[in-house]
Amino acid sequence: MKRGRGRPRATTAADAPAAVGQRIELALERLTHDGRGIGRWRGRTTFVEGGLPGEQVTARVVRARSKLIEARLESLQQSSAERQAPRCPHIELCGGCSLQHMAHAQQLEIKQQALAQQLQHFAQVEPQQWAPPLVGPAYGYRQRTRIALRWDRQRRALDVGFRQRASSELVNVEQCPVLVPELEVALKALPDMLRGLQSVEALGHVELIGGEHPALVLRHLQPLSADDQHQLSAFTAQHGLSCWLQGDDGQAVPLGTAAEPAYRLEQQQLVLSFAPGDFTQVNPQINQAMVNQALDWLAVQPGEAVLDLFCGVGNFALALARAGAEVVGVEGSEAMVARAQDNARKNQLEAVHFLAADLSKPVEMPAGAQRYTAALLDPPRDGAEQVVADLAAMDVERILYISCNPATLARDAGILAGKGYTLVRAGIMDMFPQTAHVEAMALFRRQ
């Protein structure tokens, strides 16, 4: 007699998948590398944005798969003793500083863990020495920000702020505690001034820049009237800013007389100018500490030949030259190369030269170029896969890698490890407190 298969098991409530928008209750046990709480709901791994280990929470589902749920904290039944009160009143909507509920020391810990896990997962390497994190102020650190502007035709109103979390909509901001104080003061007064302009429907975005010559850059989609320009001039003068206008051609031009924005590396006695739109680090305290640590780790000798790849306006190259190295800086943008050259001239540094090259392609040094014993690179988020292979082929002895993405740093570390390099030191740099963004520095040495 054939054995029957039996009746199918009845579906229970525990088998039903979570629905987007559903409220669920669960206990959180640990943190992800990006700061979300992890727990289990009906056997499914659940990530809760805004949650901490040890908390009992009610969360709202934002994404659900068969074995994985993503949710956002809605209320606390039991709170962690580690929970901090966020300083920003826009934390519930703004997508920027998502870790304000977490103690700063805990933020550093998860960033350190993220770097270590990525290095182990992608490259199976661990540094011979972990460096302590580079840290600065937890708030009031950011000296550069872009503020979105959007004209709502139905409401006949201008929205001024940052993108909402997981949305293209804007949250109108009244303050931003991570900005340096002088820029936050300007931000508080900015919306009323902009809403009073005649060209309010044709505004693109605003950038606020601190540093040596603070500035406001306004992107506009049609010419501004004389009255609008007068209002902008009065506002920027009141807040100690120069005013720059950026029209359809994308070029920022000063409204009246204005010095280019600049920042200072006090300990290297350097001032570096840049144009609105150029990449520069937003955290001046960490940038100074990062440059100091780079010089310490590379330990260049007077006259030593050093490459600085993705050199920007000369942030590392000029510091290396000041330390006595003979530096060649390479950058993809002709305009930024010109500004780096100008910064070298203004700072009276002759042993540094700059050239433009596409660093996504094999590095080609000029004919007769000397051998470089050390190199520094500060690539974008997609890393420097081609560059690290080229540096290994050039037999560079020491390679210092500045990273804004631990995953691509780990991938490139694996390439270097396969070509005979040892990861000597590594550590995180807290460039963006209150966020899950991880910056890191790693030193590789030829075995």
Please list the active-site residues. 404
Report the alpha-carbon angle 89-94-97, nearest 5: 85
Phi first, then psi: what are they for 442, rounded to 5°?
-140, 135
Angle between helices 104-118 and 406-418 (to 10 degrees): 40
For residues 275 and 280, give the distance between their C-alpha atoms in angstroms, rounded to a whole number. 10
DSSP class of 435: S
How far, in Å, CA of 358 to CA of 199, rounded? Answer: 39
Please name which of 251, 196, 252 lies closest in space to residue 225, comparing C-alpha atoms. Answer: 196
Question: CA 335, CA 356: separation in Å to the nearest integer?
Answer: 9
CB 67 within 8 A of CB 40: no
Place of tokens 């100091």: 292
What six digits make up the tokens of 331? 């950058």
3-state secondary structure of 60: strand
CA–CA separation, 123 vs 103, rounded Å?
A: 30
- Asked if 429 and 441 count as a contact pair (C-beta separation under 8 A), the reply is yes
Q: Which of 145, 134, 126 is nearest to 438 (CA)?
A: 134
Q: How far out from the chain centre does Cα 418 lie?
A: 29
